[in-house]
Chains A and B, each alone.
Chain A
Amino acid sequence: MGIQKDRIKFNVGGRIFETTATTLGNAGRDSFFGALFDDNWNLLRANNNQEFFIDRNPDCFAILLDLLRTSDLHIPSNVPERLLYREAAFYGLSDHVRSAKWGPFDGNRLSLCRSVTGRAPGDGTAIRAGPDGGCAVAHGSMVHVFDWMLEEHPPINLDYQRVNDIGWVNTDGIVISACERLGTADGGMGLFTSSTGELRYKFNVVHDNQVKSYAAGALSFSPDYKIFSSCKGRSNEYGVGVWDQVTGKQIDFFYESPGWSLGDADKLQWLDRRNCLLVATLFPRKDNCYISMLDFREKRMVWSWSDIEAPVTVDEKRVRDAIAMEESNSICVVNEYEDLGFIDLRMSGGSVRWSSRSRLNKGKMPDESCYPKLALHEGQLFSSMNDCISVFCGPDCVLTSRLRRSHGGSICDFSIGGDRLFALLSEENVFDIWETPPPPII
Chain B
Amino acid sequence: MSNQKKRNFQIEAFKHRVVVDPKYADKTWKILEHAIDEIYNHNASGLSFEELYRNAYNMVLHKFGERLYTGLVTTMTAHLKEISNSIEAAQGDMFLEELNRKWNDHNKALQMIRDILMYMDRTYIPSNQKTPVHELGLNLWRDNIIHFIKIQMRLLNTLLELVKKERTGEVINRGLMRNIIKMLMDLGSSVYQEDFEKPFLEVSAEFYRGESQKFIECCDCGEYLKKAERRLNEEIERVTHYLDAKSEAKITNVVEKEMIANHMLRLVHMENSGLVNMLLDDKYEDLGRMYNLFRRVPNGLSTIRDVMTSHLRETGKQLVTDPERLKDPVEFVQRLLDEKDKDDSIISLAFNNDKTFQNALNSSFEYFINLNARSPEFISLFVDDKLRKGLKDVSEEDVEIILDKVMMLFRYLQEKDVFEKYYKQHLAKRLLSGKTVSDDAERSLIVKLKTECGYQFTSKLEGMFTDMRTSQDTMQGFYAKYPELVDGPTLVVQVLTTGSWPTQPSATCNLPAEMSALCEKFRSYYLGTHTGRRLSWQTNMGTADIKATFGKGQKHELNVSTYQMCVLMLFNNADRLSYKEIEQATEIPASDLKRCLQSMACVKGKNVLRKEPMSKDIGEDDAFFVNDKFTSKFYKVKIGTVVAQKESEPEKQETRQRVEEDRKPQIEAAIVRIMKSRRVLDHNNIITEVTKQLQSRFLANPTEIKKRIESLIERDFLERDANDRKLYRYLA
Contact = CB atoms under 8 A, between A and B. Distances in A.
A31 B127 contact: no
A46 B50 contact: no
Nearest to B116: A35
Contacts of A31: 118
Contact of B49 (A35, A89, A92, A172): A35
A224 B119 CA distance: 30
Interface stretch (A50-58, A157-165, A310-318): A50-58
A30, A35, A52, A200 — which one has the most chain B CB atoms within 10 A of its CB? A35
B53, B54, B118, B129 — which one has the most chain A CB atoms within 10 A of its CB? B118
A193 B129 CA distance: 9
Interface in A3-48: 30-32, 34-36, 46
A346 B110 CA distance: 55
A35 B118 contact: yes
B50 A55 contact: yes
B126 A172 contact: yes
Interface in B46-61: 49-50, 53-54, 57
A164 B127 CA distance: 25
Contacts of B127: 172, 193, 195-196
B50, B53, B116 — which one has the most chain A CB atoms within 10 A of its CB? B50
B137 to A, nearest CB: 16
Interface in B85-131: 115-116, 118-119, 122-123, 126-129
A225 interface: no
A193 B127 CA distance: 7
A92 B129 contact: no
A35 B129 CA distance: 24
A90 B119 contact: yes
A36 B52 CA distance: 13
A35 B123 contact: no
Contacts of A193: 127, 129
B696 to A, nearest CB: 41
A46 B45 contact: yes
Nearest to B112: A35
A84 to B, nearest CB: 16
B54 A55 contact: yes
Contacts of B116: 35
B50 A92 contact: no
A254 to B, nearest CB: 31
Contacts of A34: 115
Contact of B118 (A32, A195, A196, A200): A32
Place the interface of chain B in its size category. 10 to 19
Interface residues of A, number: 19
B122 A92 contact: yes
A53 B126 CA distance: 29
Nearest to B54: A55
Contact of B115 (A35, A46, A89): A35
A53 B122 contact: no
Contacts of B128: 196
B118 A92 contact: yes
Nearest to A171: B126
B53 A35 contact: yes
Contacts of B123: 89
B49 A36 contact: yes
A73 B49 CA distance: 27
Contacts of A89: 119, 122-123
Contacts of B129: 193, 200
B647 to A, nearest CB: 66
B391 to A, nearest CB: 60
Main secondary structure of the interface of B (DSSP, over half): helix
A30 B132 CA distance: 13
Contacts of A52: 50
A34, A46, A196 — which one has the most chain B CB atoms within 10 A of its CB? A46
A193 B125 CA distance: 12
Interface in A49-93: 52-55, 89-90, 92
Contacts of B118: 30-32, 35, 92
A35 B110 CA distance: 12
A73 to B, nearest CB: 20
Contacts of A36: 49
Contacts of B126: 172, 195
B24 to A, nearest CB: 16
A72 to B, nearest CB: 24
Contacts of B49: 35-36
A47 to B, nearest CB: 10
A211 to B, nearest CB: 24
B115 A90 contact: no
Contacts of B122: 30, 89, 92
Given A90-B57, A172-B126, A193-B127, A53 B50 contact: yes
A36 B119 CA distance: 15
Interface in A172-226: 172, 193, 195-196, 200
Interface in B29-79: 45, 49-50, 53-54, 57
A310 B52 CA distance: 71
A34 B121 CA distance: 14
A343 to B, nearest CB: 42
Contacts of B50: 52-55
Contacts of B45: 46
A2 to B, nearest CB: 28
Nearest to A200: B129
A90 B60 CA distance: 11
Contacts of A55: 50, 54
B473 to A, nearest CB: 65
Nearest to B50: A54
Nearest to B47: A46
A132 to B, nearest CB: 12
A200 B127 CA distance: 11
A52 B115 CA distance: 16
Contacts of A172: 126-127
Contact of B119 (A46, A53, A92): A92
Contacts of B119: 89-90, 92
Contacts of A54: 50, 54
A152 to B, nearest CB: 15
A30 B49 CA distance: 15
Interface in A88-123: 89-90, 92
Interface in A238-292: none
A158 B122 CA distance: 28
Contacts of A195: 126-127
B114 to A, nearest CB: 8
Interface in B444-480: none
Interface in B126-147: 126-129
Nearest to B46: A46
A53 B45 CA distance: 16
A193 B124 CA distance: 13
A19 B590 CA distance: 123
A199 B122 CA distance: 21
Contacts of A46: 45
Nearest to A38: B111
Nearest to B52: A35
Nearest to B61: A90
A10 to B, nearest CB: 10
A54 B50 CA distance: 6
A66 to B, nearest CB: 21
B672 to A, nearest CB: 44
24 contacts: A30-B118, A31-B118, A32-B118, A34-B115, A35-B115, A35-B118, A46-B45, A53-B50, A54-B50, A54-B54, A55-B54, A89-B122, A89-B123, A90-B57, A90-B119, A92-B118, A92-B122, A172-B126, A172-B127, A193-B129, A195-B126, A195-B127, A196-B128, A200-B129
Closest 5 CB pairs of A and B: A35-B115, A195-B127, A196-B127, A54-B50, A172-B126
Given A34-B115, A54-B50, 9 more contacts: A32-B118, A35-B118, A46-B45, A89-B122, A89-B123, A92-B118, A92-B122, A172-B126, A193-B129
Interface of A: 30-32, 34-36, 46, 52-55, 89-90, 92, 172, 193, 195-196, 200
